[in-house]
Structure formats: structure tokens, C-alpha cells
């Protein structure tokens, strides 16, 4: 499938938004034409950073009708899936490295009525996902080490996207260093969902930034 025939989703990552005016930031990117709101949840254990939890997701849910794409960078995510779904998560992505029972966690996500996703760290092989590809809607390829926004894109992750595209018909999302100078490469490699933080919230004109990303 060529990029010209695929719908490209733009998902602003609120990790780079101004949390002092988060509702306005979300409404601005929604008005600017984005498709999804990406929410990074970090526990300070699986990754060396601590971010938000269900109360903030509930607050976000009240200000937008867009799908909430929630990336759980937390250890043993199965313990919290009910809570994140109830808070308003529409897409729930867990890390293959963080779950002790990936099959059970994926089943629970889908039983809760959410889209199920798997993510992997840059050093984790795509082959780790093979047993689960028929059970998920989304794969999130990290093109930076998870934990902090504003990192530089890792070009060697492009081959991982290409390898996955050859065997996975679902959505491929990419997160990390996605901006005007990297977006064409990942779209050509087969990506469907562009997660961008600084590349959108770091720009004065969010509508123009979203438009540039979608055009590749």
C-alpha cells in the first residue's frame, strides 16, 4: 500500500503542550485539523519520568470529542486498564517489554471496547511483536528512547517501520522527533499515525504545522 492511498492521522502529543492552559491547547490543535490526541503516561519506573494519570485524561475527555490515544509507559499495565478506559481512553497502547502477560492485557483492552496497541523501545526487535500482530489494532514505533519529549529522531528506526509494514495491516504509529524534516521519510516507510509534540506545540501556527505534517 502506498502512502498516497493511506489516510495519514496527525496526533499532537500533549507532553509538549502548555499544561497551564491545556484545554485551550487541545482545542487549538483540534480546530487546526488534527485527528487524534496523544497522551503519554509514565510511571517513573518503566521510563525515567513521571507524567499524568486518569484524572487528567478525564479532564481532557471533557474538552474534546477526538479519540484519545493513550500510551502507557508503565510497568504491569494490566493492573490499570479499567481505570484508563473509564477515564476516556479510546486507544490504549502498552509496551511489550512492560507486561508479564501481553495476551491477557490485549484481550482486556479489547474487551473494554478500546483499540489495542503495542509499543516497543528502539532496541527491541520487531520480531517480538509477531505473536501478537493478529490481536492488535496499532503498533507504536518509538523513534526515540521513551521518557522525555524533544529528543532527536533515530534514522535507523525507519527500517523497523518498513519491516513491520510488510507483515502488519493495521495502523503503524510513530513517535519521537517527528517534524517537517522527518515526516516524509516515515510516511514513505509505511506509517499511518504521526505523533508529534514539539513539532506541533512548539510552532506558533499549529494549523500550519499539522497541515505540513499531513502533507509529508
| Residues designated catalytic | 40, 175
Distance CA 190, CA 127 (A): 17
Nearest to 122 by CA among 103, 99, 147: 147
Q: What is the DSSP string of 66-134?
A: S-EEEEEE-SSGGGTHHHHHHHT-SEEEEETTT-S-HHHHHHHHHHTTSEEEEEE-TTS-GGGGGGGGG
Distance CA 79, CA 94 (A): 12
Distance CA 206, CA 183 (A): 16
How many residues would you count in the chain? Answer: 216
Amino acid at each position: 500500500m502506498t502512502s498516497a492511498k493511506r489516510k495519514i492521522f496527525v496526533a499532537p502529543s500533549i507532553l509538549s503542550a502548555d499544561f497551564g492552559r491545556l484545554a485551550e491547547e487541545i482545542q487549538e490543535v483540534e480546530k487546526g485539523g488534527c485527528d487524534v490526541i496523544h497522551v503519554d503516561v509514565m510511571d517513573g519506573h518503566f521510563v525515567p519520568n513521571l507524567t499524568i494519570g486518569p484524572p487528567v485524561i478525564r479532564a481532557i475527555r471533557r474538552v474534546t470529542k477526538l479519540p484519545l490515544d493513550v500510551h502507557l509507559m508503565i510497568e504491569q499495565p494490566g493492573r490499570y486498564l479499567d481505570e484508563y478506559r473509564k477515564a476516556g481512553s479510546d486507544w490504549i497502547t502498552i509496551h511489550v517489554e512492560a507486561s508479564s502477560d501481553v495476551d491477557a492485557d490485549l484481550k482486556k483492552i479489547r474487551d473494554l471496547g478500546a483499540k489495542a496497541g503495542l509499543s516497543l523501545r528502539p532496541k527491541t526487535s520487531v520480531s517480538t511483536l509477531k505473536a501478537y500482530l493478529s490481536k492488535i489494532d496499532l503498533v507504536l514505533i518509538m523513534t526515540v528512547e521513551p521518557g522525555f519529549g524533544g529528543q532527536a529522531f533515530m534514522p535507523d528506526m525507519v527500517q523497523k517501520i518498513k519491516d513491520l509494514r510488510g507483515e502488519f495491516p493495521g495502523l503503524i504509529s510513530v513517535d519521537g522527533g517527528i517534524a517537517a524534516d522527518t515526516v516524509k521519510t516515515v510516511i514513505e516507510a509505511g506509517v499511518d499515525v504521526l505523533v508529534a509534540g514539539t513539532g506541533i506545540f512548539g510552532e506558533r501556527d499549529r494549523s500550519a504545522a499539522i497541515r505540513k505534517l499531513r502533507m509529508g
